[in-house]
A and B are shown apart, each in its own frame.
Chain A
């Protein structure tokens, strides 16, 4: 299981990586490609990454979660051209009980969004394309 992959994300090995006899709670988050953004119809998108840093940052985030909670974490983010409904990112966190699993899973996806150098280019139904800038949306909020 690689942190950054150009292949479709397969959930089975991700879950298998964190399953263990002493872990009774497994929380999983999947980020999927949406067919709309700010009212515009999205046909597909492309993720690109600063791969060496993205891998390093994912490793740091997983290590932080595993130091903070008694969890095992698996994480994978896809790059390349993705279709609507494809899994863009998957996080699995397993612990003895659900509270720690949920907390670690939430921490990892939030930190991925905040810190991992990945960019998204959306291709719209009207034939145009644009780099997504989440900070612009924050200014509207």
Chain B
């Protein structure tokens, strides 16, 4: 991930990580995606592979929101509002 003044550039590993976080709703699964020996290690994701997902529409939003927050938090970013910083670690609980 490269951050400049007005944009964030992601590489393939970032997309793999975001995808792995997206499809890992539990803490246990999120631990697995960072273990190189696990079948679910995020770098093993094939970005060209199709992924089918059937679940309630709300859950797509929940997974997307959770994965982005988690990705940003794990990469040392936080949210700032009215000068107050919000730590994103809650997204991994």
Do A and B pair up? The answer is no
